A and B are shown apart, each in its own frame.
Chain A
Amino acid sequence: MKLINKNVDKDGGGSVTLMPEESEDMWHAYNLISEGDCVRASTIRKVQNESSTGSSTSNRVRTVLTIRIENIDFDTQACVLRLKGRNIAENQYVKMGAYHTLDLEVNRKFTLTKSEWDSVALERVDTACDPTQHADVAAVVMQEGLAHICLITSSMTLVRAKIDQCIPRKRKGNVQQHEKGLQRYFESVMQGILRHVNFDVVKCILIASPGFVRDQFYEYMFQQAIKLDNKILLENKSKFMLIHSSSGFKHSLREVLTDPSVIAKMADTKASSEVRALESFYTMLQTEPAKAFYGTKHVERANEAQAIETLLISDNLFRIQDVKLRKRYVTLVDSVRESGGEVKIFSSMHVSGEQLDQLTGVAAILRFPMPELEDEEDSDHEN
């Protein structure tokens, strides 16, 4: 994302002009824009003209429209953001108050006007525009008969393909069916990789599985690559990494990302730091349960005592349409920062974020134990 113009008043109101450069930026935009904001962007609209004789012609014109958002749609897998709302700046084609749906496009700038830019939103703009945060990794988690091909960007994990085949088991005197099934499975995983992984962008491809599946697959893939003379695979052979995981399900990506060799290679990407933060939360919960809490109420109470050392919060909570509730979370984040705590905003598109979402979306590691919180019957279980 490129920041083209930023004009934010002291009282928080103002506008920011941004240019998305890749699909991941749509995710940032989705997290920035909320209902009630105004967005100005170039778009295509079908305009109907009626001539003086009464015949009507319709044609499509590209025009710049400003709308007040009423509805936001985000397709997580295709990374398409659609904003629906009413026109608030009349022009020659579109009347005031007419509905329009904007499709934000890559490489076309848009201007976002908010009545209040809070710290979380401004931080989001900064991170979105930070060019160093690009570490594209592809990961294939597999087990016999099941594979997920994922793309991991700094703020999203996208499942590009899921391969689910049944491989006949070995049985007395009939091993061929098993081996044939395995070959077929490997072939589809390999095709999946070739189709979904862009080797120009991806810096590293992790192949993770329990047992020997990954080794077998790796061997198979490069045998095939030699046989078919597939240059792309052969040239990128060094990018493949074989990692252990306990299963082929998506959430075992967490294990993959905590693997020491992956951490070394992926440096400090958001994905792996989130995983580690969550891991440490769980460890704390096991060793010192009075120092780890989750649920809004508990965490807020801990914050009142300025006890929070690390706050884990899912960006899901900032996308709530309820302004009051969003404000509550923003104040929580701000006050934790003020008191010197660390705030980690998890992307709900990552596996770790998904898990945090399940865990009410907010969790905290405390500086000192607060056993009195534990006794309190907390109401978070009901939400």
Chain B
Amino acid sequence: MDLRKPSMKDSHLMSHLNECDGFDDVYGHSVEDDYCISPSDAAQFMFDRTRQHQMSAFFNEENGIAEEGDCNITSFKQDISVGDSEKQKWPDLSELDEVRLRSCLEEIRSVIGDAVPEQILIDSVMKNEFDFNKALDDVLSSAASATGKPAADAPKPQRERKSRDRGAKRATDVPDRLRSDDSSTNNRQTGVVPQENKVGSTPVVKVVPPGTKTVNITKGFDVPPGTDSSESLKSDSNAVSPRSLSPSSGRISPSMGIEVADTLSDSKTMTVKEVKTATRSRENKVDVLTQYQQERGQSKEQLHMVVIGHVDAGKSTLMGHLLYSLGQVNKKTMHKYEQESKKLGKQSFVYAWILDETGEERSRGITMDVGQSKFETATKVVTLLDAPGHKDFIPNMITGATQADVALLVVDATRGEFETGFESGGQTREHALLVRSLGVSQLGVVVNKLDTVGWSQERFEEVVGKLGAFLKQAGFTESNVTFVPCSGLTGENLTSPPSEDMLLQWYKGPCLLDVIDKFKAPERPVTKPFRLSVNDIFKGTGSGFCVSGRVETGMVQVADKVLVQPQNEGAVIKGLSIDDVAVQVAFAGDQVSVTLAGIDMQNVAVGYILCDPTQLIPVTSHFEARIVVFNIKVPITKGYAVILHHQSLVEQAVITKLVAQLNKSSGEVIKRQPRCLTRNSNAVVELEMSHPICMELYRDIKELGRFMLRVGGITVAAGLVTQV
């Protein structure tokens, strides 16, 4: 062979292929196919093709050979063939029962191996009504009494011990295998029962441990086909099994293992069915919640905080200083910034540079896009979103605010500055209204730059008075609003109680950090179907590309299948990372970067939603909504072209119909089909988008049912989706 093709000698792939003689002699055979498949994959396929019938026939009909290592292959085969040849052997069951039965079998097999014919197992499981423990007892006792198979008996104790050793691991393995089996079954018998299909294709909770399967298969391949020596197979797999297990357990996130183990120990009587459905179906609230508790119970609470306020109120500087004081920025970097900003003659911007990173932002001295950072307080992990204050960048600010749980409103206490920011035309009002309409109810108000007015109490009181009245009117409850006097530049009252005498004279309240710490983290809707709104798309390291965004609801794991809406394209999650730390699971409220595979970068745009393929997000270009009209100059009529902001999405829309004008407080219909909507009115309108977009009803998922309407740089209305 090598003589014939000396040039191929080096290639590992080719030499591998050359072993299966005659392969490369076949004309018309796609050579590329052979090249691009890795040897182990190829082996898998070859195994399937050549051994399928023999194997199933061998194990299921004749049986009697105890073959532990192969058990998952067998079950694999069984599951596949359920659809066709083996169907008659299975009792007539509902889909659910069938699944329960299969899982029971699986579990029993994991304990006793393949020693007992399958039919017996099925019968006993049926007899005991899917109760795994009883069925196992049943089988074991009958096996002991019969002692029909000495060959199987002899190694049994040994194997049993082993299976006990890895009881916990097993438990975690089982559902996985089941799931993958199920989905493949479903693939073969598509559309048998839609519901079952749904369950089967629910995103895989964990990586299917490839260790066991692949290794076994490779070994199987090594055995010359046709010999089928059970002895050699057995010894092989026995030799392999410890090794094949260790990677599989390593693959699983440890916490997962612990979780299932915990649940197992919690209830000894728990049936296999429970384990399975629990990990399998996302609808099961208890499970996701317990998992969430497990993963996040001990750690500090997550909090997303957006910093808003009028341009030049000192948001970035305040936050930059806070980060620096908390030690999030190292001295060296800080020194560099100091030198560079001095060079540009903008020394006062030195702290802002921590968050404003682009050259444009630094040279102009304003924040243009949301800057992100992270710090920890005593009880919370806070993700900081530093929003731009300039009115041209409100779209960016909205993207930031949609991700936030709480907000920090920064106002400039300097005489005149506060007034310009607060009176009409300033962003203080608009920002506050925006975050309120985006669902933020807790607000910290930082009265900044108080050093410029000599820490005057009157000034502080004046600002508090004016703002307090406005905020109340905007819909913030008084108890949720806290006022803090600060100075971002000097760092007074940021992380530690004030040291300035003038402030100490009258201020006894908490420092900024304490205020942040006191915010209540909202409840995360982890039990709802998975949704992630794409906020950014970039090339990551390695293969694929990354999208980042906030998991709005539900949870997601590596290797999950997701659907990118409204493009309706499937993709697979290759990796998840939170703050550049790779993780396995992400829950609602997390800010994650997702590495996607199986989809082109061109097909994903900012504002798209990744969702659970079984529970799709509605995609529409026409929907009905309830809107609250802000203080506007030009009335809204039908045919009014607006720009709709929904999560990170910015899209053109037209108000096609004014359905009804509503009473502001009671919600009663004042007038049907009004001619126009004037300022401060409530109404139900219909909107038509220029492209289909993802929209959730407000009552289903609040986060995705909110939107803002803007015209000509002014926010005209906030809305809630009532009907898609």
A313-344 with Cβ < 8 A to chain B = none
Also in contact, A177 and B538, with CB within 8 A (given A170-B357, A251-B652, A357-B639): yes
Also in contact, A210 and B393, with CB within 8 A (given A179-B358, A246-B710, A294-B675): yes
Also in contact, A212 and B360, with CB within 8 A (given A169-B369, A282-B634): yes
| Of B358, B393, B675, B712, the contact of A178 (CB 8 Å cutoff) | B358
A249 within 8 A of partner (CB): yes
Residues of chain B with a CB closer than 8 A to A255's CB: 712-713
- The stretch from B370-378, B425-433, B484-492 touching chain A is B370-378
Residues of chain A with a CB closer than 8 A to B721's CB: none
Measured in the bound complex, the distance between the Cα atoms of B528 and A21 in whole Å is: 63
A192 within 8 A of partner (CB): no
Measured in the bound complex, the distance between the Cα atoms of B712 and A282 in whole Å is: 14
Residues of chain A with a CB closer than 8 A to B361's CB: 170
Q: Encode contact with B along A275-313: 1 for CB under 8 Å, 0 otherwise.
A: 000000011011001000110000000000000000000
B156 within 8 A of partner (CB): no
B535 within 8 A of partner (CB): yes
Also in contact, A289 and B676, with CB within 8 A (given A170-B358, A175-B358): yes
B341-372 with Cβ < 8 A to chain A = 357-361, 364, 368-372
Residues of chain A with a CB closer than 8 A to B160's CB: none
Residues of chain A with a CB closer than 8 A to B373's CB: 172
| Of B359, B368, B638, B652, the contact of A249 (CB 8 Å cutoff) | B652
Residues of chain A with a CB closer than 8 A to B640's CB: 355, 358
A239-275 with Cβ < 8 A to chain B = 244, 246-247, 249-252, 254-255
Closest to B634 in A: A282
Closest to A298 in B: B675
Closest to B713 in A: A246
**Are B633 and A355 interface neighbours, CB within 8 A?**
no
Closest to B639 in A: A358
Closest to A166 in B: B537
**Are A358 and B678 interface neighbours, CB within 8 A?**
no
**Are A282 and B635 interface neighbours, CB within 8 A?**
yes
**Are A251 and B392 interface neighbours, CB within 8 A?**
no
Residues of chain A with a CB closer than 8 A to B710's CB: 246-247
**Are A283 and B638 interface neighbours, CB within 8 A?**
no
Residues of chain A with a CB closer than 8 A to B371's CB: 170
A168 within 8 A of partner (CB): yes
**Are A169 and B675 interface neighbours, CB within 8 A?**
no
**Are A247 and B643 interface neighbours, CB within 8 A?**
yes
B536 within 8 A of partner (CB): yes
**Are B678 and A211 interface neighbours, CB within 8 A?**
no
Q: Encode contact with A along B599-618: 1 for CB under 8 Å, 0 otherwise.
A: 00000011000000000000
**Are A179 and B536 interface neighbours, CB within 8 A?**
no
| Of B358, B372, B548, B637, the contact of A294 (CB 8 Å cutoff) | B637
A216 within 8 A of partner (CB): yes
**Are A252 and B712 interface neighbours, CB within 8 A?**
yes
Residues of chain B with a CB closer than 8 A to A211's CB: 368, 390, 392-393
Residues of chain A with a CB closer than 8 A to B537's CB: 166, 168
Residues of chain A with a CB closer than 8 A to B678's CB: 286, 289
**Are A177 and B676 interface neighbours, CB within 8 A?**
no
A341-374 with Cβ < 8 A to chain B = 354-360, 374
Measured in the bound complex, the distance between the Cα atoms of B652 and A293 in whole Å is: 25
A60 within 8 A of partner (CB): no
Measured in the bound complex, the distance between the Cα atoms of B358 and A350 in whole Å is: 38
Question: Which one of A172, A216, A289 has the highest number of Cβ atoms from chain B below 10 Å of its Cβ?
Answer: A172
Residues of chain A with a CB closer than 8 A to B702's CB: none
B673 within 8 A of partner (CB): yes
Residues of chain B with a CB closer than 8 A to A173's CB: 357
A195 within 8 A of partner (CB): no
| Of A171, A247, A283, A374, the contact of B634 (CB 8 Å cutoff) | A283
Residues of chain A with a CB closer than 8 A to B368's CB: 211-212
Residues of chain A with a CB closer than 8 A to B308's CB: none
Closest to B354 in A: A172
Also in contact, A169 and B673, with CB within 8 A (given A210-B393, A286-B634, A358-B639): no
Chain B nearest CB from A213 CB (Å) reads 9
B112 within 8 A of partner (CB): no
Residues of chain B with a CB closer than 8 A to A169's CB: 369-370, 535-536, 538
**Are A171 and B372 interface neighbours, CB within 8 A?**
yes
**Are A381 and B657 interface neighbours, CB within 8 A?**
yes
Chain A nearest CB from B307 CB (Å) reads 16
A199-231 with Cβ < 8 A to chain B = 210-212, 216
Measured in the bound complex, the distance between the Cα atoms of B372 and A286 in whole Å is: 41
**Are B390 and A359 interface neighbours, CB within 8 A?**
no
Measured in the bound complex, the distance between the Cα atoms of B639 and A273 in whole Å is: 20
B395 within 8 A of partner (CB): yes
B164 within 8 A of partner (CB): no
Residues of chain B with a CB closer than 8 A to A210's CB: 392-393, 395, 713
B260 within 8 A of partner (CB): no
Closest to A174 in B: B538
Residues of chain A with a CB closer than 8 A to B654's CB: 358
Measured in the bound complex, the distance between the Cα atoms of B696 and A184 in whole Å is: 34
Chain B nearest CB from A375 CB (Å) reads 10
Q: Encode contact with A along B547-573: 1 for CB under 8 Å, 0 otherwise.
A: 010000000000000000000000000
Measured in the bound complex, the distance between the Cα atoms of B368 and A356 in whole Å is: 35
**Are A166 and B605 interface neighbours, CB within 8 A?**
yes
B577-612 with Cβ < 8 A to chain A = 605-606
Chain A nearest CB from B474 CB (Å) reads 23
Residues of chain A with a CB closer than 8 A to B605's CB: 164, 166
Measured in the bound complex, the distance between the Cα atoms of B371 and A178 in whole Å is: 13
Closest to A252 in B: B712
Q: Encode contact with A along B529-549: 1 for CB under 8 Å, 0 otherwise.
A: 000000111110000000010
Closest to B650 in A: A247
Measured in the bound complex, the distance between the Cα atoms of B643 and A255 in whole Å is: 14
Residues of chain B with a CB closer than 8 A to A179's CB: 358-359
Chain B nearest CB from A168 CB (Å) reads 4
Measured in the bound complex, the distance between the Cα atoms of B642 and A250 in whole Å is: 11
**Are A289 and B712 interface neighbours, CB within 8 A?**
no
**Are B676 and A285 interface neighbours, CB within 8 A?**
yes
**Are B675 and A172 interface neighbours, CB within 8 A?**
no
B641 within 8 A of partner (CB): yes
Residues of chain B with a CB closer than 8 A to A246's CB: 392, 643, 710-714
B112-149 with Cβ < 8 A to chain A = none
Closest to B399 in A: A169
Chain B nearest CB from A326 CB (Å) reads 22
**Are A175 and B357 interface neighbours, CB within 8 A?**
yes
Measured in the bound complex, the distance between the Cα atoms of B690 and A319 in whole Å is: 24
**Are B673 and A381 interface neighbours, CB within 8 A?**
yes
Residues of chain A with a CB closer than 8 A to B606's CB: 145, 166
Residues of chain B with a CB closer than 8 A to A293's CB: 675
Residues of chain A with a CB closer than 8 A to B369's CB: 169-170
Chain A nearest CB from B578 CB (Å) reads 13
Measured in the bound complex, the distance between the Cα atoms of B712 and A355 in whole Å is: 14
Chain A nearest CB from B691 CB (Å) reads 11
Closest to B370 in A: A169
Chain A nearest CB from B387 CB (Å) reads 13
Measured in the bound complex, the distance between the Cα atoms of B282 and A45 in whole Å is: 67
Measured in the bound complex, the distance between the Cα atoms of B372 and A175 in whole Å is: 13
Residues of chain B with a CB closer than 8 A to A377's CB: 673
A90-133 with Cβ < 8 A to chain B = none
Chain B nearest CB from A290 CB (Å) reads 10
**Are B538 and A168 interface neighbours, CB within 8 A?**
yes
The 6 tightest CB contacts between A and B, nearest first, are A358-B639, A246-B713, A168-B538, A210-B392, A211-B392, A359-B639
Q: List 16 A-B contacts (CB under 8 A).
A: A166-B537, A169-B538, A171-B538, A212-B364, A246-B392, A246-B713, A247-B713, A282-B634, A282-B635, A283-B634, A285-B634, A286-B634, A354-B641, A357-B639, A359-B638, A381-B673
Chain A interface residues (CB < 8 Å from chain B): 143, 145, 164, 166, 168-175, 177-179, 210-212, 216, 244, 246-247, 249-252, 254-255, 282-283, 285-286, 289, 293-294, 354-360, 374, 377, 381
Q: Given A289-B675, A289-B676, A355-B640, 7 other A-B contacts at CB below 8 A?
A: A164-B605, A169-B538, A172-B373, A211-B390, A212-B364, A285-B675, A358-B638
